[in-house]
Structure 1
Amino acid sequence: MSGAKRQKTAHDAPAKRQKAEASASQASPDPPTEEESATLDVASSADAADAPEEPKTFKELGIVDSLCEACESLNYKHPTSIQAKSIPVALQGRDVIGLAETGSGKTAAFALPILQALLEKPQPLFGLVLAPTRELAAQIGQSFEALGALISLRCAVIVGGLDMVPQAIALGKKPHIIVATPGRLVDHLEKTKGFSLRSLKYLVMDEADRLLDMDFGPSIDKILKFIPRERRTYLFSATLSSKVESLQRASLRDPVRVSVSSSKYQTVSTLLQHYIFVPHKRKDTYLIYLVNEFAGKSIIIFTRTVFETQRIAILLRTLGFGAIPLHGQLSQSSRLGALNKFKGGSREILVATDVAARGLDIPAVDVVLNLDLPQDSKTYIHRVGRTARAGKSGIAISIVTQYDVEIYQRIEAALGKQLETYPTEKEEVMAFQSRVEEAQRETRVEMKAFLESKDKKGKGKGKTAGPKRRRDNMDEEEG
């Protein structure tokens, strides 16, 4: 495809796209489901009429001046809904279950009360945050360090895929806050001499539903045996599944449930959601058409497997697009490098498995393209939640083939609405076909070399690369 064509598409987008970006889809709020647990729901419909106006500043929430200054330096101007509802409850010393849609500011909602408690009674190994992925753990660690910069906070991030020795040294320095993935934390609790969490005061389980979906339940059970019963526990999640309810009963004491989601599967009103029904053999062609439609914008393309992620990234690069892959079989440095390049704008397109679907704060994502539909509706919600964050608008388009109809219908049923077709002209799409076919041939050659290289590395590692190691180090393989 010519550079002139791409430039023209980026700056003179069709009227249909301008119209799409100017409006926003309206989600019909459903009433919250009734929970059988004995928790207090501060967002229940019974209390809604008497609910006071939400505070407009962090100081009004009860946050001390030094942390308010930190919020101001990070441009946190006003508390989000989940922060406004959960922080006062947490400051009262209650356990909290926080339910909020992705991108709602959950990290500060649990970080600020912990840091305020730490200021009142400073001690090492004060708080532990469990996260499902390495990238989310690193992001939470950065948030704690930024909020605690004025109070000399020491924070250690403990994740799989990295050498345990430097991590053991970092733990030996007695950090105030540990942010960890469950598998690697268990490794240190069992093997690192002198490391103990017996003095821990705060436990946070972030993205709790995904922690359990990824089979971290046994690791969490072990961790709960290593930490004191007398502690404060915060459980934050976008959805409340039966597994999460079981976890709450096992680990929280008389918790307050704080919810800012009006339905189990809610998307923000500023997000436009569309689908395109295409023949399976034309998926690549329609994908390239869409990428060209949104040339110049920040795009995440979600695929179902590591193989497809790598293939699409190569295909896009062959066609001249700045694309970079992100999946669980990359090294940790490569994964963080891919994220940083995408965040920094040196790459406009991130091609990712669902390792990027949850929790990651990438503020400037304009478009989400689902090349492969996810297997469940919850993952769909988290994928499209990568755009339209913090009040901004965004577009999500799903490519649906004849083999995806049942999955797509389940997603629409969960959303409670039918999505509109994204308008396309077949002639415009098929104009890309010959160039795409040529790029596919080149991509097959590169993929063959990539797979052969991967096989050689796997044989070199021997049994250490087996399922047990991959499970402990998280997300080593999707699909």
Structure 2
Amino acid sequence: SGKTLSFGLPILQYLLEEADRQAEKQEAPPREKLPLQALILTPTRELAMQVTEELKRTSCKKVPIGTIVGGFAEVKQKRVLEKTRPPILVATPGRLWELMSSNDYSHLNDLSQLRFLVVDEADRMIKQGNFPQLKQIFELINLANPPPEDPNELEDESDDDDDEDRLRSLQGIKGEAKVVMLDDSILAAIERERSGDKSAPKPMEMDDDEYLEQLEADDSDSDSEVETEEEEELVHRQTFVYSATLTLPTSTHHLIKKDHSKKSSKKSKKGKRQPSTVDGAIAEMLDLAGAMGEMKVVDLSNLIPEGKSQQSKKAAKDKKSDKDAASKSDDAKKKKSPSMAARLPPGLTLGEIRCAQRHKDSHLYGYLVTTQQGSSGPCLVFCNSIAAVRRVGETLQTLGLPVKMLHAQMAQKSRLKSLESLRKPKSRSIVVASDVAARGLDIPSVATVIHYDCARAVDTFIHRAGRTARGMGEKAVGTSISLVAPAEEREHQKICQSVLGEESNKFEQAHIDGRLLSEAQERASLATKIVSCNDFESQASKKNKWLLDAANDAGLDVDDSMLESSLLDGDKRDRQRFIEAKRAKEQLRQLLAKPMRKQHFGKFLSGAGLRESIKAEKEVKPFVVKLKNGKRKKKA
């Protein structure tokens, strides 16, 4: 949708025009005095780096842009803040607040010249508990550059002050007393008033030198007042709030549940600018950011009628031109208003596979290996937890697929390598990720998105599915597949109704050949045994290593009975489990060396299924893993 450029172009335009103006007047300030003028906040490191690269490409690297995110050495970011002092900073809230709260960086201490504040993926940023530092950052920004005051509010406050002064002057009402020191002139005036002398007071005598000194003092005071007013003149700050799901109904995504009744009553009395049409995540973020003045809402993801959603476009093309049919449809529309559906990319195809929870691994493997769409290009697999990401990733790796993982507990270099593997359009690269990869990432080569776990909220599903079918034109196509277990049926129905309309309870069924699926289940079952055994062994090894390291640091000896035993050293059941896992490795190795086919033939190729098998292997090349010279080789 061009979201990055929509806030990047105004920022770059202002900075470039300002640089040209200063160059013409030869007023360019030294680099150490350049203030921070634009701050862009994103929820994830990957999105921050993507925004930085996009802005650098757009500006042809004429405007310095800095990135402040976690996972990198603080020394490098310190060098950026102290030497480069970029006017544009792209940051994640955690690392930014860590540097701001230290007060060691003058570039972050002076926020009075901040002209642009951008909050990307705002609905996730304000979710309860996600980014507690965000509110503190906004408080510092509003303290350094407070929003403009509403004249209506000033009038109300002045009226209140007049009422208070009037009440304090009345007898019998408690209030503040004004104390005036008596001097000789005041005492003389009081004495004249008592004696009834109504003559005019004597004029004050002043020498010429004293009069000139008094004028100069008054002029200097007025000049200093003007200078302080100019120094205290604050810049106008423009606030951008972005997200693909900001305008969804509040029931479809979980926001901070906060009581705004008191605030709204105060704002209505004072005449603030907030219109009644803005609520939900937008109003929450505007309140936190202290955004005031004129506001514009550009909504590119409005809810659309069900009949105009992506999944019903094919039916719309086949619409009859008969007058009777048109009149009937008009009557139906009059009787019942159309249900609304969330807008998704036009080239996105939504599908589902219904299976038991324990069969998800086999269905995922079967779809990736045996279907044309699953093997057509890079694939993103989303899970709801880091533990699920690790287990599913290790299972697919055991099955010989080129799999990488991506979650918040990984090192930054590993996360970047995982994303880089998705940029090869014709590869079969697979990345199993948590929702850290669900927002904002622009990787056009991703062909398929698979929801291994059903998304917990509609906005999460929309962001996940939006990682494919990126861009515009005929090539902007992709597929989103949901693996739905019986326990996830209710959540899945809510997603279907929000995306397709209230009358839709399911997506299009994704087809996997039953004969190939049975082979996939056999291989996935063996891989699950192997992964379970390896996981037990690795956990025992990690615990023993931690205990031995702690004992060495303390100078103590560790008894062997205190160490975790492996499966081979355990009881009879553990030893049997270890032996079965070892057998499973050999069986799986033999199975992976053979392609999965719908029909197996003997010595001679014959039978009714021969042509069908040849056609299937032309559409989808069998995925084979062969062992050669002690090394595993993959052949697609």
Question: TM-score w.r.t. structure 1 length?
Answer: 0.70
2:186 is matched with none
Are 2:409 and 1:316 equivalent residues in the alignment?
A: no
Distance in 2 (CA, whole Å) between partners of 1:370 and 1:170 is 39
What secondary structure does 1:375 align onto? coil
Distance in 1 (CA, whole Å) between partners of 2:6 and 2:384 is 32
Change (3 A) 1:162 1:455: farther
Are 2:241 and 1:232 equivalent residues in the alignment?
A: no
| Paired residue type of 2:407 | H
Matches within 5 A, 1:2-81: none
Displacement, 1:365? Answer: 0.8
1:112 is matched with 9
| Paired residue type of 1:361 | D
Contact 2:424 2:445 in 1 (8 A): no
Change (3 A) 1:114 1:395: same
Displacement, 1:452? Answer: 5.4
2:119 is matched with 205
Displacement, 1:359? Answer: 0.5
Higher relative contact order (CA 8 A, sep 6+): 1
Distance in 2 (CA, whole Å) between partners of 1:274 and 1:130 is 34
Equivalent residue pairs, number: 358
Distance in 1 (CA, whole Å) between partners of 2:428 and 2:543 is 28
| Paired residue type of 2:344 | T
1:396 is matched with 480
| Paired residue type of 1:237 | S
Contact 2:375 2:428 in 1 (8 A): no
Matches within 5 A, 1:308-457: 308-344=388-424, 348-391=429-472, 392-415=476-499, 416=501, 417=504, 418-449=506-537, 451=539
Are 2:372 and 1:304 equivalent residues in the alignment?
A: no
1:277 is matched with 354
| Paired residue type of 2:466 | G
| Paired residue type of 2:342 | Y
Contact 2:377 2:445 in 1 (8 A): no
Displacement, 1:164? Answer: 2.4
Displacement, 1:269? Answer: 2.2
Change (3 A) 1:171 1:414: same
Could you list the runs of 5+ residues in structure 2 that have no partner in the other structure? 20-33, 147-235, 251-279, 304-340, 551-636
Larger mean Cα displacement after TM superposition, 140-149 or 453-462: 453-462
Give CA deviations for 1:359-391 in whole Å, capped at 9, x if unaligned. Answer: 011111111111111111110111111111113
What secondary structure does 2:494 align onto? helix
| Paired residue type of 1:131 | T
Among residues 335, 358, 364, which one is paired with 1:287 in the alignment?
364
Distance in 1 (CA, whole Å) between partners of 2:428 and 2:538 is 21
**Which has the higher Rg, Structure 1 or Structure 2?**
2
| Paired residue type of 1:312 | V
Displacement, 1:455? Answer: 6.3
Change (3 A) 1:138 1:347: farther
Among residues 179, 183, 187, which one is paired with 2:94 in the alignment?
183
Change (3 A) 1:388 1:449: farther
Contact 2:423 2:443 in 1 (8 A): yes
Contact 2:378 2:424 in 1 (8 A): no
Are 2:309 and 1:221 equivalent residues in the alignment?
A: no
Contact 1:137 1:159 in 2 (8 A): yes
Distance in 2 (CA, whole Å) between partners of 1:450 and 1:105 is 45
Distance in 1 (CA, whole Å) between partners of 2:73 and 2:547 is 21
Change (3 A) 1:331 1:248: same
Contact 1:183 1:216 in 2 (8 A): no
Distance in 2 (CA, whole Å) between partners of 1:458 and 1:409 is 46
Are 2:78 and 1:168 equivalent residues in the alignment?
A: yes
Change (3 A) 1:438 1:364: same
Displacement, 1:143? Answer: 1.1
2:215 is matched with none
What secondary structure does 1:183 align onto? helix
Could you list the runs of 5+ residues in structure 1 that have no partner in the other structure? 1-103, 463-479
Change (3 A) 1:221 1:409: same
1:257 is matched with 297
What secondary structure does 1:404 align onto? helix
Contact 1:296 1:348 in 2 (8 A): no
Question: TM-score w.r.t. structure 2 length?
Answer: 0.53
What secondary structure does 1:368 align onto? strand
Larger mean Cα displacement after TM superposition, 130-139 or 409-418: 409-418
Contact 2:449 2:467 in 1 (8 A): yes
Distance in 1 (CA, whole Å) between partners of 2:549 and 2:116 is 38
